[in-house]
Amino acid sequence: MTETWPWASHFVAHGLYFATATCGLPPRVTSGAMDTVLADWRRGRVEAPEFDAVIAQARERYARLVGVDASTVAIGHQVSPLVGLVADSVPDGARVLTAAGEFTSVTFPFAAQEHRGVSITEVPLEKLAASIDASTDLVAVSAVQSADGAIADLDAIAAAADRHGAKVLVDLTQAAGWLPVQAGRFAYTVCGTYKWLLSPRGTAFLTVREDVMDSLVPSQAGWYAGEKPWESIYGLPLRLAKDARRFDVSPAWFLWVGTNASLGFLERVGTEELHRHALEVEAAFATAADLRPGTSAIRSLEADELVPALMGGVDAVASVRAGRLRMSFHVNNTVAEAEHLGRLLRGYLRD
């Protein structure tokens, strides 16, 4: 019923798409922007410096989305190298705390520091805040868990970390775009954009709180991390940006055109409206499927063996993670299509 949720008309997916937690769909404005830049490339009309304004706008839009100043936002390609910056900068012997079953892009960079005496301990997500103590140097956790959509109690985690002097790194990849977040509360946040931010795979963001910025080593710095990038292409000395741009990596130009367009689209919809709609569509699906509505835009379910065929019959797409059906609900979905799929799968799904 796109007449009651007009934003769904901006997408051109074939069938029912409930797999944003795997890969978000591009709105028409994003597809159009990328078509244009690819056409310019084919014609030999690409001017590299022209992408600077696109990237600056994307940085500003993302900063507004997560509630920080653009000067604290850096750009990257993927989440794990951004987490790696933090992992490289923790002191020898640091003790890191994380959630059991956490997405490994958040944990592997720390585990790889074992040779320096860095240790990483897993505890159940619901016990994470209570497990923070004076021995904890850093907490690394996703705001929303990839496998099942569980939402971390970030208020409790932040409060406990503050009491014990620990830093917190939060992965916003499965949160930003549907769940309102305030990244400035945490020392670091990272976010891959190709899911809930509806962007091409290959762009990502890092936020670094000002009070910890000087403790983070810009070990991946290249020319684009310079205070004036087009004047820091050749030769020493090191001359990095004074703000979080010192952590930038050279951008994949065309992908940032798509990312900027998608962020502009999401900004038009509005964070609160995106949150409200995601939960409304999830509740519509759950009620129609005779399940209790949840509190997350991601729903993990045990599915009978007939479910793939039933979904295939109506050209419905979801994903499977940790051996369970993972449904996700976002701006491209409508209440009507969620109810339709829920009725079809009624009796074949269990929590």
Is the pLDDT at 99 greater than 80? The verdict is yes
What is the four-CA torsion angle of 120, 122, 123, 124, rounded to 10 degrees?
140
Tell me the per-residue pLDDT of 249-303, one tens digit each, with 9 for 90 and over. Answer: 999 999 999 999 999 999 999 999 999 999 999 999 999 999 999 999 999 999 9
What tokens does 295 get?
A: 């509190």
Q: How far is CA 120 from CA 99, 107, 108, 111, 294, in A?
A: 10, 8, 9, 6, 31
Beta bridge partners of 316: 16
Residue keyed to tokens 């005496």: 117
pLDDT mean over 219-234? 96
Backbone angles phi, psi at 142, to 5 degrees: -85, 140
pLDDT mean over 37-41? 97
Beta bridge partners of 120: 96
Percent of all residues in the chain with a pLDDT value above 90, rounded to a whole number: 99
Q: What b/e sequence results for 129-148 when a residue is b if at least 16 CB atoms lie within 10 Å of its CB, and e otherwise?
A: bebbeeebbbbbbbbbbbbb
Q: What pLDDT was estimated at residue 3?
A: 53
C-alpha to C-alpha distance for 172 and 312, rounded to whole angstroms: 31
Q: What pLDDT was estimated at residue 4?
A: 86
C-alpha to C-alpha distance for 26 and 195, rounded to whole angstroms: 10
Mean pLDDT of the chain: 97
Q: How far is CA 333 from CA 6, 25, 211, in A?
A: 10, 11, 40
Percent of all residues in the chain with a pLDDT value above 70, rounded to a whole number: 99
Tell me the per-residue pLDDT of 118-149, one tens digit each, with 9 for 90 and over. Answer: 999 999 999 999 999 999 999 999 999 999 99
Backbone angles phi, psi at 23, to 5 degrees: -160, 120
Is the pLDDT at 223 greater than 60? The verdict is yes
The burial of 128, by beta-carbon neighbours within 10 Å (0-12 exposed, 13-18 middle, 19 or more buried), is given as: buried
Confidence of residue 246 (pLDDT cuts 50, 70, 90): very high
pLDDT mean over 7-33? 97
Q: What pLDDT was estimated at residue 196?
A: 98
346 in Cβ contact with 310 (< 8 Å): no
Is the pLDDT at 222 greater than 70? The verdict is yes
Confidence of residue 1 (pLDDT cuts 50, 70, 90): very low
Q: What pLDDT was estimated at residue 2?
A: 42
Tell me the per-residue pLDDT of 287-345, one tens digit each, with 9 for 90 and over. Answer: 999 999 999 999 999 999 999 999 999 999 999 999 999 999 999 999 999 999 999 99
C-alpha to C-alpha distance for 113 and 140, rounded to whole angstroms: 14
